Each structure stands twice: as structure tokens, then as C-alpha cells.
Structure 1
Amino acid sequence: MAAAPAPDARVTLLDAMASELTRNQQQLKMQSHEPPYFMSYQLKDYVQYAVGARYGALFLDDGYRERKLYVDVRVGSYEFDSSVPEGFEFSFSTKGTSYISRKEGPLDDSPLALRTALWLITDEKYKSALFQYLKKKGEDVYSVEDPKRPPSFTKEKPSTLVQPPVQAPFNRERWVKLAREVSAQFNAHPELFDSEVRVTTDKVTRLFVSTEGSRIISEEVLYGLHVSAVTRAPDGQLLDDSRDYYSPTEAGLPNDAKVREAAAKVIEELLALRAAPAIDPYTGPAILAPEAAGVLFHEAVGHRLEGERQDGDNEGKTYKGQVGKLVLPSFISIHDDPSLRMLNGEPLNGYYQFDEEGVKGQRVTLVEKGVLRNYLLGRVPVEGFLQSNGHGRSQGTLKPVARMANLLVDSTKAVSDAELKRMLIAEAKRQGKPYGLIIRDITGGNTNTSSFGYQAFKGVPRMVYRVDVKTGQETLVRGVEIVGTPLSAVNRIMASGQKQGIFNGFCGAESGNVPVSTVAPSMLLQELELQRAVEGKDRPPILSSPAEALREPSLRQEKPATRPEKP
């Protein structure tokens, strides 16, 4: 007779969460006040291992585990409820609270301990929600009635998923050996005064239940391998370069030979950047390579299509009321698809099955042939869009908001790389510019979407090439960063390349750091503005590195000691 399968501890904990949720739903109420109309519980179990080496020696060899709890308690109704932006729950109370519950779950699989932690957080969240609900009702007295005001929260069908456990092996011995070996490559180049080779694995197991009936157990694993180094140019400017790889499996990380090649490339590029001339601020035509183009769309367009940014009091609302209107060149379309795990054999960081609000991640067409069609939506509705499309995302215990996942940019006006460069030169000549620019690599960027500042974005390019309009010769330059206003920049796109590139990384916003990807072809912009980068005037290290000193022959020969002669 076959032995019964071992009980799944995850299911046991999910049952405990559901039991505590039901108890609170049925009994939680203050006299003469409304009970909650909606509640959800989420547990995230984080497990991480990391090794890192510098100068050929191990500097990091660590692992940790923690469980984080997020509780959502809403008073009122789907039409009008107690919800306020993240961080505002207690900020307006004159009395405040003398105790804030810890948002941690037990590492032991103890149903009672888990229920107790959830009970305490739920009590706190209910009191806060009730306070905010009454306050919002009072403030509503002074507000002009808006017949177009969307509901506070979307109604969604319950979701169910029990994903099988996912293994997350970590071959520590291999990675320690490789990190030591590869980091030692940098010792031969003392101009690169610091460097690191780091390998990580992050596993997140998520348990989610809601009063609507959702029950979800999901697991995601993400491996990372990073090779980075820094140096200074002779004028003091700090320069950095890196290679970053991500994979949902350990086997998907690059092999040892490729990691060594990556380190050699970082060394080669940084030495070239040290010798490259710094250029003055520039306004003119430029080609953004696929990764750089992806960062442009992520910062200039993607963040401005996130749902909460359409109605927030402090938001610039760049695309509010623009649905059905032309907002980009007619040959550009943009989608976001969290259900896409791989593209052309390469993994995408932004993949997930269900978002942090229990809604299935869905492909959404944001811009179709230049026309705005939709927004990225969590469970905060936007005028005209009353359902979530599964983009409510967050890190740890932060409140979910609509965020990008896998942003995909398509173009129907695609030409070869050679033709794109020809068009760049022709446009630079037309504008009377002595050169155009090609930006082949970028570290990332940031943007401001608030109404309190200028609507702008910034990108930090790494490998920038000046293209002479007479000869077409490319010269590596440094010392500038991309700036601009979003609507102006993206509407000056003239054409695109044919080959798409993938930028994998993490995006930070109100709800924390979440893994994202952008997929885009090269883009030729009629005009791009680059300002001078922050100039460093720091001296490089005064002495040579110990590794270099040990290699240098002695500059003087020590003579043997002699006794003075007797008179």
C-alpha cells in the first residue's frame, strides 16, 4: 500500500489564513460603525542566497529568510471606501497610535502564530480604515460632486491557484570559485580601482486569500549574476560599467567562459571610456540602441500610463482623458504582458501569474498605432476602465499600485541598422550639426510624474558614440546624460531598427522594487537633449594598488650592511 503524500505546509498555512479571515469578516465590528466590506491577507516567504567577490577574494557569502505580511481592510463599499495612498493611513490622526504591529510572519509553520500575527495587524488596519472612511466622508462635504468619479475599488471574480513547489538550487561551490577567479581578472588593471562579481538567488513563495474567495499559492525564483567595475577618468569623472544576467533557473545563467568574457568586455569598455573625450551638452538627432530605447519608453511613457497616476491629486496626469487620441507616432504600438515568460529564448523579469491583489496578469494593449487605448490597472479604477488588468504590484509589505511588468514596444516603420545610421547622418546634416549620436548602452533612468515638478525624465547612458556626418566614423565619448520632456521626446521618433532587444532589471516606485523588462527595437529620434553629467573632481587613489605594487620591480637595490673600518 502506497504511503500517503506528506501534507503541504503551504496549504496548511493558507487554511489558517482563510480561517482567520473568515473569523474577522464575521465578527470584526465596532459599535455603531460599519464592518469591513472587503479584506485580504498575503504572506510572502523570501529566501535569498548571495556570494560576491572582489580582488580575487570572497567578500559576501550570506543567506537570509523572512516572511512578510500584508493585510488590506476596507470600510465602506466598492463605490466609496476608506482607501488612501500608501503611507497616509495614520498621518492625519491627531492622537496617532502608541503601537504599530510588526508586519512579519512566523518562520515556523505554526498556524496559531500566523493567525495571531494576522489578528493583530487586522485590528490595526480596521481602526485605521474606519478613521479614514469617516474622514473622507467629512471631506466629501466640501468637494464638488463629480458624476464621472470612478469607484474606489474594482469588483473581481475570485481566483484559485495552488502552484507546485519550485526548486531553487544554489551551487555555492561553483559560484564562489567563479566569483573569485573572475574578480581576480580586474587586478591586472589598477585603473579600475573597484569591482565585484556577485551571484544571487531569490525565491518568493506567496500565499493570498480574500473575502471574495480567492486562494492563491504561487512561487517565483529569480537568479542574478552581476559583473561590475568602476574607474575615474583623468579629469576625475566617475565611470562605471557592468554586465547583468537574470534567469528563472540556475542553468539559465551564463556559463563560466561567458562570465569571463563579460569581465573582459567590462575592462575593455572602461579603459576606452577613461581615454574617451568628454563632450559638451548636445541637442540633435540620436539613435537609441534597443536597451536604451526600452528605458526611454519605460520612463517617458510607461510610468505615465499607470492607473493611479490618472487621478492622484499630486500627479501630472499626462495621459488623462487621452484615450482614443493620437499620443505617439502612428507606427508605434505598446503592450504590457506579465504572462510572457520568455521571448526569443531569453527570460523576461516581469513575468508573473497573479498580481499582489489576486488578479491574473493580463496582456494589455496600451497604445495601438500611436493611439492610446488603455492604462495599466490594478484594483483602483480609472474613468472608463472599471476592471483590473492584473498590474497591481508591490514589494514586501507595501500597498500594491499599478505597475509595468513586461513592456513591449513594436514599430511598423523598421529599417536596417545601416539605413538607420544613414538617416541619422542625413538628419544631422539637415540640422547643420557636425555629428549625430548613437547611444548603445544605458544603465537606467528615472522620471518625475508629479504635478509639483516639471514633467521630465532622465537616462544615464554608458556607451555613447559621436558619428561624424562627413565620414560616418564613430568615436566613443563620455560626460553626458539624457534629459527631456516625455511628450516631446517620444513624438520625435523618426524610425526604428528591425531587431528587438531586451532590458531586464528592477523598477523602483511607490510600491517598492519590482522585477521588470522592456522589449524594444532601436529608435532614431529627430531631437534628443543631453546635458552634462555630474562632474567628479576627486583624485584617484594616491598610491598604486597592492597588486600593482607587488608586480613592480624594486626601484632600488638594497645594499648589504657593512661594518665601519677601524682606523
Structure 2
Amino acid sequence: MVIVLDNGKIENISKNYTKGAGIRALADGSWGYTSVEGDADIKSGIQNAADLAIVMNQKTPKEKIKFEPISKPTIRDIPVAKINPEDISVEEKVEMLREVEKFAKEEGIKNTRVSYSESILKTRYENSEGIEAEYQLVRTGFTVAAVASENGVYQVGRESKFNISGYEIFQKFDPYELAKNAAQTAKEMLSAKTPKGGQMPVILDQELAGVFTHEAVGHASEADLVLQNDSVLKDRMGTQVGSPLITVVDDPTLHEYGYYPFDAEGVEPKRTVLIQNGTMNSYLHSRETSGIFSCRSGNARSQGYSIPVVRMSNTYIENGETKFEEMLEDVRDGIYLIGSRGGQVNTGEGIFQFNAEKGYMIRNGEIAELVRDVSLSGQVLEILNHITHVGNDLKLAPGHCGKAGQTVPVSDGAPHISISKATVGGA
């Protein structure tokens, strides 16, 4: 379900019920895939996938795929919704959003937008090796945005929370305080200036450092991209790729937004250390890529019943030992970047560019004036090697990751990190 209120008016209330199955068959090194909707004939779908695999293998034979052996996943410690969102009426949900929106309608705010979403996912997996498993997860989330304007200049403040939980999300997080924060940010940004661009020392907050970890490191660690020669981390296993201060982990077992009890190939997941103290330690794998690299899989994911693809889950930089105040003192003069407004990365060339929500100049080791319209760009490996401090204040933020035309829930995060030299875009 999705509910959207724009300036207090209902813009959208939608419910979407989907049922179906994705079916794969393997003939030597060739896959056949088909999907069926609703209560369609599964046996017919299996036959269609098998026929397609056989035809593909006859036309373009490939080397036989060797799978790692797997066991039935142990389903335990599944997050359970304390308040089933289906037990809450649509009218009550709309009223909650109206109340949240009131707190964003401060003086100086021209527009507001509040949304709520919920999903109940029931997943069942079966294969010809005798593996059968199933689970159910509830995810909910809300977003509030406020727009302030002055002399033709518009600025937006946004706050959001998403979680694997039920309607208790409004008890776990204070939506009214978040709404006020969004309004305050929008108004503050009106008076912020655009800084002069160039190379300088940079501190990244947990959200932007997490986005960097996900986009620039996580995707480059996906083994299918490595095999396609589309990763700057190809052939770097066991070599130093960054500062010894950083350890990057992907962990589907954490009860964060990217959690899953087994992947789209029925494999029980595990914590994977991608980079250990600056050294490339592991890639993320499907059963197909794990057979090539002789590693363990557990990282194949799919949106609904789409074809499985190697994907991240909860990806983050582990805690270090430096306090934020110590980072400021060491940087002395630079910039502190906060939040993310999107960006882009070329995993093959290792080039990235991200836009921060806002920033503060750092002068004489202290936080100074607020700035806006600022970005961070550079080479992934250079930035990893220029990390001089890793904080002790790790936070993970929920989000959605797109790849191969599919979107799946993920979390990414980090503690504060400082970088000795990075390219900052501004005026």
C-alpha cells in the first residue's frame, strides 16, 4: 500500500496485490527462465523454462556451470511486526499523515508532501535438489518533505524512515520531530551559500559515507560485474585497495532494511567481509559465480519473482576509534558533507560523483557556515587510500538499490570518515 498527501490533499492511495513464480532451468551452462502470474500452471512453467534452456544450450553452448553444494537454510529469528499494518484502517493512516504534515507546515514553508508505504512479502523457494523454505516479512516506511522559497529560490528538506517492522514504525521513530526537522532544513538552506570547489580535506557524515560504500565499493564487489570486466576491484583479491583503517562488510543477517533469511537461490546468508583492513577480501556471489571463484554464495536477490542477480544487502564500513571532534581538529580547514541527493558511479573505471544534501565549512578545526549545492567526486581507489580517520559512530540508513531493471531494499552506512584530499564541486 502507498498513501501520498500533497499539501494536505490526498494525491494517491493505492494497493497492489501480486502473486506469481519465477522459474529457472539449467542445461549445462545455459539458463532458461520464465515467470507465471497468479495461480498459473507451475508444471507448465517448469517445462517452458527447461525447453528454453535446452534450446539456448544447443544454439550457443557454454561451459557447464558447477554449483557449490548447499543445505536447507535454517529459518530463525525472523523480525515480526508488533502491529500488523493490515489491522489499521486506511482512514487512520491518512489521519496520521495529516498530523505529521501539520508539523512541517511552519512559517516560510510553501509546500509539504508526506507519504507512507507498507509491504507484506511472502516468499517460498523450491529446487530440484530438494531444498524447500519459506518466510514472510513486513516492511513499512514514511517520508516527509518541506519546500521553502525566497526570492525565486527553492530549497527542500526531507526526512524518512523505513524498517522491517509493522505500523509500530510511528512509535519507534518520532514522525513529528522529523517533520519539524525537514521544515527547518528547508528554511536554513535558503541562506546557505555555494562553496568554492576544488580539492580539500573532507569529512563525510554516516549517510554520505554509507552511500559511497554502497555505490562505489559494494557494486564493484559484486562478482557478476567482476566477471563482466566492469569492476575496478577485478584481480585485486588479496591486495591493498584502501587505507588499513577501513573494513567493509555486507551482512544480510542484520535486522536492517536489507535483511533476508535466505537468498533467491535458497542459500542461507552470511556476513561477508569485502575489504579487511584495507585489503580486498571477498566478492559477493550467486551460486553460479561462487562455483567459478570457489567461494560461498548467498547474495543472489530478486525483485518479486524476477531472475536472481548478485546484490548487496546491508553494506557498511565498520566502526573505527576516532571521535568526530578529533576529526575536526585534524582536518582544521576543509568541508563537512552531510546526506545524499543521489549521484552516479562507473564501477568499471572506478569513477564516482555524489551530491550532498548540505555541508558546513570547517575553519580552524570548528564547524563554520552552512553551504549548499555541493558534490564529491573522484576515483574510488584514491578516496579509499586517502581515508585518514574512521569514526566510532556507525549508523545504517535504509534505501532501495537498482540493478538489472530490478529494485530491492537495502541498507548502507558507516561511521563518520575523514579524507585527506578529495574533489569537492561547488561554485
TM-score (norm 1): 0.69
Matches within 5 A, 1:3-42: none
Q: Which amino acid aligns with 1:254?
A: F
Partners in 2 of 1:463 and 1:292 — Cα distance?
A: 10
Q: CA deviation at 1:257?
A: 8.8
The answer as to 2:276 corresponding to 1:359 is no
Q: CA deviation at 1:191?
A: 4.6
Match of 2:239 in 1: 325
Q: CA deviation at 1:383?
A: 7.7
Partners in 2 of 1:354 and 1:72 — Cα distance?
A: 17
Partners in 2 of 1:160 and 1:523 — Cα distance?
A: 36
Q: 1:508 to 1:52 in 2, by over 3 A?
A: same
Partners in 1 of 2:297 and 2:172 — Cα distance?
A: 40
Match of 1:340 in 2: 254
Deviations 1:193-220 (A, max 9, x none): 3x22112211110111100111111111
Partners in 2 of 1:528 and 1:233 — Cα distance?
A: 32
| Match 1:68 to one of 20, 24, 48 | 20
Aligned length: 422
Q: 1:496 to 1:257 in 2, by over 3 A?
A: closer
Q: 1:231 to 1:73 in 2, by over 3 A?
A: farther
Q: 1:383 to 1:483 in 2, by over 3 A?
A: farther
Partners in 2 of 1:239 and 1:157 — Cα distance?
A: 52
Match of 1:182 in 2: 100
| Match 1:279 to one of 195, 199, 213 | 195
Matches within 5 A, 1:109-124: 114=40, 116=41, 118-124=42-48
Partners in 1 of 2:335 and 2:309 — Cα distance?
A: 37
The answer as to 2:342 corresponding to 1:394 is no
The answer as to 2:130 corresponding to 1:213 is yes
Q: Which amino acid aligns with 1:60?
A: N
Q: 1:476 to 1:360 in 2, by over 3 A?
A: same
Q: CA deviation at 1:189?
A: 4.2
Q: 1:326 to 1:102 in 2, by over 3 A?
A: closer
Deviations 1:12-44 (A, max 9, x none): xxxxxxxxxxxxxxxxxxxxxxxxxxxxxxxxx
Partners in 1 of 2:152 and 2:66 — Cα distance?
A: 55
Q: Where do 5+ consecutive residues of structure 1 fail to align?
A: 1-48, 90-100, 107-113, 141-148, 342-347, 429-435, 534-567
Matches within 5 A, 1:204-283: 204-231=121-148, 234=151, 236=153, 239-250=155-166, 252-255=168-171, 258-283=174-199
Q: CA deviation at 1:241?
A: 2.6
Deviations 1:285-307 (A, max 9, x none): 11001121111111111111111
Q: CA deviation at 1:267?
A: 0.7
Partners in 2 of 1:386 and 1:257 — Cα distance?
A: 43
Contact 2:399–2:409 under 8 Å retained in 1: yes
Match of 1:95 in 2: none
Deviations 1:42-66 (A, max 9, x none): xxxxxxx232322223333332211
Contact 1:83–1:152 under 8 Å retained in 2: no
> Once structures 1 and 2 are overlaid, which stretch shifts more, 504-513 or 259-268?
504-513
Q: 1:449 to 1:363 in 2, by over 3 A?
A: same
| Match 1:82 to one of 30, 40, 50 | 30
| Match 1:448 to one of 333, 336, 346 | 346
Q: Which amino acid aligns with 2:285?
A: L
Partners in 2 of 1:103 and 1:230 — Cα distance?
A: 43
Q: Which amino acid aligns with 2:239?
A: K
Q: CA deviation at 1:235?
A: 6.2
Q: 1:523 to 1:64 in 2, by over 3 A?
A: same
Match of 1:203 in 2: 120
Contact 1:394–1:511 under 8 Å retained in 2: no
Q: Which amino acid aligns with 1:222?
A: R
Q: CA deviation at 1:468?
A: 2.4
Q: CA deviation at 1:375?
A: 0.9
| Match 2:208 to one of 289, 292, 295 | 292
Contact 2:79–2:164 under 8 Å retained in 1: no
Match of 1:134 in 2: 58
Match of 1:154 in 2: 67
| Match 2:279 to one of 330, 352, 371 | 371
Partners in 1 of 2:202 and 2:145 — Cα distance?
A: 27
Contact 1:58–1:179 under 8 Å retained in 2: no
Q: CA deviation at 1:384?
A: 6.5
Q: What's the secondary structure of 1:208's corresponding residue?
A: strand
Q: What's the secondary structure of 1:192's corresponding residue?
A: strand
Partners in 1 of 2:107 and 2:198 — Cα distance?
A: 32
Q: Which amino acid aligns with 2:304?
A: G
Contact 2:265–2:308 under 8 Å retained in 1: yes
The answer as to 2:391 corresponding to 1:494 is no
The answer as to 2:363 corresponding to 1:468 is yes
Q: 1:402 to 1:60 in 2, by over 3 A?
A: same
Q: What's the secondary structure of 2:18's corresponding residue?
A: strand
Partners in 1 of 2:351 and 2:377 — Cα distance?
A: 7
Q: CA deviation at 1:224?
A: 0.5
Contact 2:209–2:416 under 8 Å retained in 1: yes
Partners in 1 of 2:12 and 2:130 — Cα distance?
A: 43
Q: What's the secondary structure of 1:53's corresponding residue?
A: strand
Q: 1:257 to 1:401 in 2, by over 3 A?
A: closer
Matches within 5 A, 1:386-465: 386-412=294-320, 414-425=321-332, 428=333, 436-450=334-348, 454-465=349-360
Q: Percent identity?
A: 23
Q: CA deviation at 1:489?
A: 1.4
Q: CA deviation at 1:411?
A: 4.7
Q: CA deviation at 1:187?
A: 4.4
Q: What's the secondary structure of 2:240's corresponding residue?
A: coil
Contact 2:106–2:183 under 8 Å retained in 1: no
Q: CA deviation at 1:318?
A: 1.5
Contact 2:74–2:268 under 8 Å retained in 1: no
Q: CA deviation at 1:389?
A: 2.7
Q: Which amino acid aligns with 1:439?
A: L
Partners in 2 of 1:157 and 1:59 — Cα distance?
A: 47
Contact 2:73–2:262 under 8 Å retained in 1: no
Q: CA deviation at 1:422?
A: 0.7
Partners in 2 of 1:512 and 1:444 — Cα distance?
A: 18
Q: 1:494 to 1:166 in 2, by over 3 A?
A: closer
Q: What's the secondary structure of 1:530's corresponding residue?
A: strand
Q: CA deviation at 1:123?
A: 3.8
| Match 2:37 to one of 104, 108, 125 | 104
Partners in 2 of 1:243 and 1:357 — Cα distance?
A: 35
Match of 1:192 in 2: 110
